[in-house]
Chains A and B, each alone.
Chain A
Amino acid sequence: MSTARFKVKALSWSPYIEPVDVATASEEQLAAMQVTPSNTKVSAYVRTLAHDPESYVARTKLFNAIMYAKGGLDRAERELGALVASAVNRCVYCASVHARRYVELSGREDVVEEIYVRGLEGPFDARTQAIVDFCKALSETPSQATKEQVQALRDHGMSKAEIVDLIHAAAIFGWANRLMHTLGHSVPVEAK
């Protein structure tokens, strides 16, 4: 390991389409964006997706449950699932957000450095390798994921309930990456 700690830069996100303008938004869009007189600052990401408030509200609720629900899989490992999916889908913005969250929760700069510098092949420690291998296959082409990969998760002490959480974390990033990486692009924070 290098002596300097590996750091992933924080990024901002800029949409390719014009986001909803809070000043002219419909009641349904305002409710979806949770705009109130004391909260009128809404991110470009939320305003972009608020063009379809129905799907925005339902997906946000599901996303929060998958990433933050109590119990089950350790939150750090859900973030690792999110990071692997984002690396496969080359969603630079999502990868930077979730790489940083993963490090905050796990302290594993070494894993993030490996992924950023050399990619998803590893080698990683055995449990991390099992998570990366399964989430990578599921994200690339679902039919490439194997029973052996799931068995490897079990062999490294993951319960079935925890694996259900990991499946959902990787899958919801198959969703989130297909929004963030197709509807806009990452930009340096300074240029916001």
Chain B
Amino acid sequence: MMGMSDLDQIDILSGLKPGSELYAIRRERPEFVEGTELCRETVLTPNHGFGLSHALRAALASRMARFIGREDLAAVYDLMLDDAGSDPDLASIASCAEIAAATDAFTSAIIRHADLVTRTPRNSSRADIERLEKAGLSNPQIIALSELIAFVNYEARVLVGLSLLEEVE
């Protein structure tokens, strides 16, 4: 359990200090604070990963955070990637590099989807899901990937909103 003055990832990346007004306001919604952390576990370090490793999930989260423009959030996921066991391919995913030509079809389809749904969700269509199926993703893998992508996009927006709110009177 967290102590009263413990900062979580959202506080730190939003620039909230223990004892600050906004820190206290966040704690008036414990179901948001704890719920967000619980969701983080279910998409980054789930009990049943359906063959999508914790390391791959962290690498994708880092990549998406960079695309959204939150280098600080990306750095947190880089640390998570290191803890889970990184390698040059995963580090390349995290760095936002173009998909390497040697990348297997399964992994490159996952990266493409994360990029698309992070940047232009409005352009998504049935063909994008069919592309995942053709690359060998199972239905549970498609859902797990979708939830991971959506979570990071949610988290980044919470961070940005709270950071701005901390700046106003």
* Structural contact, A54 and B42, CB atoms closer than 8 A: yes
* Structural contact, B121 and A62, CB atoms closer than 8 A: no
Interface size of B in residues (CB-CB distance below 8 Å): 56
The answer to whether B167 has its CB under 8 Å from any CB of chain A is yes
Q: Which of A89, A138, A175 contacts B151 (CB 8 A)?
A: A175
Q: Which residues of A contact B147 (CB under 8 A)?
A: 49, 52, 55-56, 59, 179
Q: Which of A55, A88, A145, A178 contacts B161 (CB 8 A)?
A: A145
The answer to whether A150 has its CB under 8 Å from any CB of chain B is yes
Partner-contacting stretch, out of B18-26, B80-88, B89-97, B102-110: B18-26
Q: Which of A54, A58, A143, A168 contacts B48 (CB 8 A)?
A: A54
* Structural contact, B160 and A143, CB atoms closer than 8 A: yes
Residue of A nearest to B46 (CB): A54
Q: Which residues of A contact B168 (CB under 8 A)?
A: 147, 150-151, 154
Over the window 136-156 of chain B, the binary record of Cβ atoms lying under 8 Å from chain A Cβ atoms (1 yes, 0 no) is: 000110111011011101111
* Structural contact, A65 and B139, CB atoms closer than 8 A: no
- A145-B164, A164-B165, A175-B153 given; A181·B146 CB < 8 A: no
Q: Which residues of B contact A72 (CB under 8 A)?
A: 29
CA distance A72 to B144 in the complex (A): 32
The answer to whether A142 has its CB under 8 Å from any CB of chain B is yes
Q: Which residues 166-189 of A sit at the B interface, judged by CB distance below 8 A?
A: 166-168, 170-172, 174-179, 181-183, 185
Over the window 120-159 of chain A, the binary record of Cβ atoms lying under 8 Å from chain B Cβ atoms (1 yes, 0 no) is: 0000000000000000001101110111011100100000
* Structural contact, A90 and B157, CB atoms closer than 8 A: no
* Structural contact, A62 and B36, CB atoms closer than 8 A: yes
* Structural contact, A17 and B42, CB atoms closer than 8 A: no
Chain A binding surface SS class:
helix
The answer to whether A7 has its CB under 8 Å from any CB of chain B is no
Minimum Cβ distance to chain B for residue A121 (Å): 17
- A175-B150, A178-B149 given; A66·B122 CB < 8 A: no
List 8 tightest A-B contacts by C-beta distance, closest first.
A167-B161, A62-B35, A65-B31, A171-B157, A90-B122, A178-B150, A142-B160, A175-B154
A contact residues vs B (CB 8 Å cutoff): 16-18, 48-49, 51-52, 54-59, 61-62, 65-66, 69, 72, 88-91, 138-139, 141-143, 145-147, 149-151, 154, 160-161, 163-168, 170-172, 174-179, 181-183, 185
Given contacts A55-B39, A55-B46, list 8 more A-B pairs with CB under 8 A.
A17-B133, A51-B140, A59-B42, A171-B154, A175-B153, A182-B121, A182-B146, A183-B142
B contact residues vs A (CB 8 Å cutoff): 21-22, 25-26, 28-29, 31-32, 35-36, 38-39, 41-43, 46-48, 50, 68-70, 117, 121-122, 124, 126, 128-130, 133, 139-140, 142-144, 146-147, 149-151, 153-162, 164-165, 167-169
Instruction: List 17 A-B residue pairs with CB atoms under 8 Å apart, sorted by A's residue number.
Output: A51-B143, A55-B147, A58-B41, A59-B42, A62-B38, A65-B35, A142-B69, A142-B160, A146-B164, A160-B25, A161-B28, A166-B161, A176-B150, A177-B121, A178-B153, A183-B143, A183-B146
